Amino acid sequence: MNTPVNADQFKLGMRSLAHAVSIITAAHAGHRYGMTATAVCSVTVEQPTILVCLNKNSATYGAVSKSKAYCVNVLRTEDSDLSNLFSGVLSGEGRFKSREWSRLATGSPALLDALVSFDCRVTKKLAHGSHTIFLGQVEQVLFGKKGKPLLYAEGQYAKLASLAHGEPLPEGLDYWGF
């Protein structure tokens, strides 16, 4: 049997994966919770489902477990400070003060000027080591403010760039014109 890879090797390899940055929110017992996450993935469109992978030590994990719901708020390039806020020293309600939020179908907070927010009801969960994977069926999609996604790769924030040299990226998808 091969010897297992060590954690540093694993983490170094994972730095190569570029992800969009989201804030996962939930509400429980009259309180709002939210945390920055990149472990977010579309699962299927037939029964529209998004998975998120949350550390069991996070306060947001507790709120998602209890409310059986969460909202995935996809951040815009301009929102690296908000990402830091939702992964930093402040906790709970303190993280929500600087921006405007509403509530969607499940009651989870939705960031009004996110690129897009997916409001999800938990349908399945799988505990694995330090984290739990939640699968959530999307009950509502809210298109917030036009823009480009905030990315995280190689241990830092990044933004989209076109591979076609010198060509500007097309404008953000125009859902907002409906």
Ligand X SMILES: Cc1cc2nc3c(=O)[nH]c(=O)nc-3n(C[C@H](O)[C@H](O)[C@H](O)COP(=O)(O)O)c2cc1C
Residues that bind ligand X (CB under 6 A): 21, 33, 35-39, 53-55, 58-60, 83, 87, 91, 152
Separation between Cα atoms, residue 65 and residue 58, nearest integer Å: 11
Name 49's Cβ contacts closer than 8 Å, sequence gap at least 6. 42, 43, 120, 123, 135, 136, 137, 138
Contact 135, 125 (CB under 8 A): yes
Q: Which is nearer to ligand X, 12 or 173 (CB)?
A: 12
Q: Which is nearer to ligand X, 155 or 177 (CB)?
A: 155
Shortest Cβ 84–ligand X spacing (Å): 7
Q: Which is nearer to ligand X, 89 or 164 (CB)?
A: 89
Query: In DSSP terms, which residues pair with 22 in a beta bridge?
Result: 37, 74
Shortest Cβ 89–ligand X spacing (Å): 9
Shortest Cβ 40–ligand X spacing (Å): 7
Strand order in the sheet with 151-153: 19-20, 151-153, 156-158
Shortest Cβ 164–ligand X spacing (Å): 28
Contact 90, 136 (CB under 8 A): no
Q: Which is nearer to ligand X, 53 or 112 (CB)?
A: 53
